[in-house]
């Protein structure tokens, strides 16, 4: 479904991605692990067209999408939930969700998507007239995910969905991600909570200073000594 081959990306003279290659198959949950500054968010921004790449290729559903503007990539069925949620704080919950459906011309489809988002997140229906900025952190994350789902994505890019949330809310968010995947949406997940991500994912990649250094089935990476030490907080002792 998604394939990156030798993708390079730059911030001025700094090379943030140094030939990243990865793939996501239809129906999978794939997670991308790495420390702060490794290039995880840059990778997602490159896929969604926000960051232009400086080399390599990005193919989605058999079509090159690098070079397309972000709104055209959304129309292809690829949607991103950015790090830090980035909801429209002064707009209501409903208005935020309507913004997510800006590429949908079919009103019946937009209403169907809204109904499914409210089914996934009943709290958003309860608070649809409330300003987004007055929601709790967990509710704002649900709103950000709901907004992304309004465009009928086939592939959802999630950037640090558990960031800054209480453990009980993190558990809830990961259950929702699993539910979204069961409903037929493929997921590429960037996540600092490596244990939760690996328990959820089918496959995983480890990104270090702009390069993929490990890849494989998520269960295997959970048992990998390097991953356990670097990302799961375990030591020899």
pLDDT digits (tens, 9 = 90+) for 84-132: 788 988 999 999 999 998 888 899 999 999 999 999 999 999 999 999 9
Q: How far is CA 166 from CA 136, 159, 161, 190, in A?
A: 11, 17, 12, 18
Q: How far is CA 173 from CA 45, 87, 88, 143, 163, in A?
A: 22, 17, 20, 11, 11
Q: Are 93 and 128 in contact (CB under 8 A)?
A: yes
Cα atoms in the 13 Å half-sphere on the side-chain side of 151 = 26
Domain with 129 in it: 26-37+69-204+211-231
Is residue 54, in this structure, part of any structural domain at all? no
Given this model, what pLDDT does residue 235 score? 59
Is residue 167, in this structure, part of any structural domain at all? yes
Count how many domains the chain has.
1
Is residue 17, in this structure, part of any structural domain at all? no
CATH number (domain holding residue 167): 3.40.50.300
Is residue 18, in this structure, part of any structural domain at all? no
Is residue 182, in this structure, part of any structural domain at all? yes
Is residue 189, in this structure, part of any structural domain at all? yes
Is residue 6, in this structure, part of any structural domain at all? no
Q: Break the chain down into helix, strand, coil percent, rounded to 5.
A: 40, 25, 35
pTM of the model: 0.92
Given this model, what pLDDT does residue 88 score? 86
Is residue 49, in this structure, part of any structural domain at all? no
């Amino acid at each position: 479904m998604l394939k990156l081959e030798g993708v390079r990306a730059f911030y001025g003279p700094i090379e943030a991605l140094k030939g990243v290659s990865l793939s996501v198959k239809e129906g999978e949950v794939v997670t991308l692990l790495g420390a702060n500054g490794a290039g995880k968010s840059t990778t997602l921004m490159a896929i969604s067209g926000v960051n232009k790449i400086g080399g390599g290729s990005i193919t989605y559903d058999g079509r090159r999408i690098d070079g397309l503007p972000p709104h055209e990539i959304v129309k292809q069925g690829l949607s991103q939930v950015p790090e830090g949620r980035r909801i429209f704080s002064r707009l209501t919950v409903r208005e935020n969700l309507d913004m997510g459906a800006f590429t949908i011309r079919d009103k019946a489809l937009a209403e169907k998507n809204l109904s499914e988002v409210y089914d996934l997140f009943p709290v958003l229906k309860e608070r649809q007239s409330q300003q987004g900025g007055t929601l709790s952190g967990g509710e704002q994350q649900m709103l950000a995910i709901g907004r992304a789902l309004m465009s009928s994505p086939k592939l959802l890019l999630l950037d640090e969905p558990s960031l800054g949330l209480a453990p009980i809310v993190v558990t809830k968010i990961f259950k929702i991600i699993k539910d979204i995947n069961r409903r037929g949406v493929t997921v590429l997940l960037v996540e600092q909570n490596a244990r939760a991500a690996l328990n959820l994912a089918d496959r995983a990649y480890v990104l270090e200073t702009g390069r993929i250094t490990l890849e494989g089935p998520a269960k295997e990476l959970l048992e990998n000594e390097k991953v356990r030490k670097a990302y799961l907080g375990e030591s020899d002792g």
